[in-house]
Amino acid sequence: MIYQDPLAYLLGIEGAALMRAFNGEYGADFTDARLAEVRELLASADKIGAARATGPISTADGYDVWSGVYDQPGNLLIDIEQPIVREILADLPVGTALDAACGTGRHTSYLATLGHRVIGVDASAGMLAVARAKIPDGEFHRGDVHRLPLPDRHVSVLVCALALEHVADLRPVFAEFARVLRPGGHLITSDTNHGWPIVQALAGGDFGYLPHYNHRASDYLAAAVPLGLQVRSCTEPCLPGPMFDPDVQPPKVPVEHPADIFSLHRWCPAATNAFYRDKPVAIVWHFQLNPA
């Protein structure tokens, strides 16, 4: 169970912005404005939205709910991550490619256009249904990244995108990736770098949060390097430009659930811009397995 208070989140954003000012990145006017906004937020707590305790749901159940709308435009994280991953994939030799935790098959379909024989594995039946419809000639399996339903040394390219935040320990998963990769094969992973869990709206008006773990760059290296996975590249993209136009005040609306952070950001746009400026929101790795 997690307890989320929208006012607490906003005060956290203000605090992070104030720490950047304290460090010399902003001046007195910015600091005074943030302190005034903190007082305003405290006085408006009953208008922002109520705090909620939210229970856990499995990753498969959460993505089943999400499968019908996951591909809709507007996901900033996908907009940032996808071009980086695809640029790496476009330069790799064509062969057999696995999309582990493939979701709706957005990377699987791109691999297919490059000429790869594609395999997708996912724990969510709903996501797999979308992927199968998108790539009818692909090979798909319902499975888990800890136990991939493939033989040893089976693929030359392996992609795992925006899924490892749901994994508590990267080491057994990377060992499984190395097991199914051929010598000299390529592993491309992407993951979030934002620090909060995904909350899904469920049938009947309830909410549930998916398992979530924050991994350091050192965690990836500790999991990959002992297996013979060499780092080819590592990219940590940030949000492009400010989230809010500094000359426009967005409407402040109450949130249905405190996990709706994008609506919450409207209550403190300047602090949000300061918080996210030059802050990585994802990490993309390209590893290559040592030749035999």
The CATH number of the domain covering residues in 57-237+281-289: 3.40.50.150
**Averages of pLDDT over each 10 residues, the chain, 292 residues:** 96 98 98 98 96 95 92 89 98 98 97 98 97 96 97 98 96 98 98 85 88 95 98 95 90 92 95 94 97 82
Q: What is the rounded distance in angstroms from the CA atom of residue 179 to the CA atom of residue 146?
A: 11
Report phi then psi at 42, rounded to 5: -60, -35
Count of residues in the chain: 292
Distances (CA, A) of 92 to 81, 111, 116, 121, 187: 18, 10, 10, 21, 11
User: How do 117-122 and 2-4 pair as beta strands?
Assistant: unpaired
- pTM comes to 0.94
Domain ranges of the chain: 2-48+242-276, 57-237+281-289
- At 280 the pLDDT is 93
Distances (CA, A) of 259 to 3, 4, 67, 207, 239: 10, 7, 19, 10, 19
- At 75 the pLDDT is 86
- At 195 the pLDDT is 72
- At 99 the pLDDT is 98
**Are 6 and 51 spatial neighbours (Cβ–Cβ below 8 Å)?**
yes
- At 157 the pLDDT is 98
User: How do 117-122 and 96-100 pair as beta strands?
Assistant: parallel
- At 261 the pLDDT is 92
- At 117 the pLDDT is 98
- At 193 the pLDDT is 86
Q: CB under 8 Å to 291, separation ≥6 — which residues? A: 183, 184
- The single residue listed with the structure tokens 């992927």 is 131
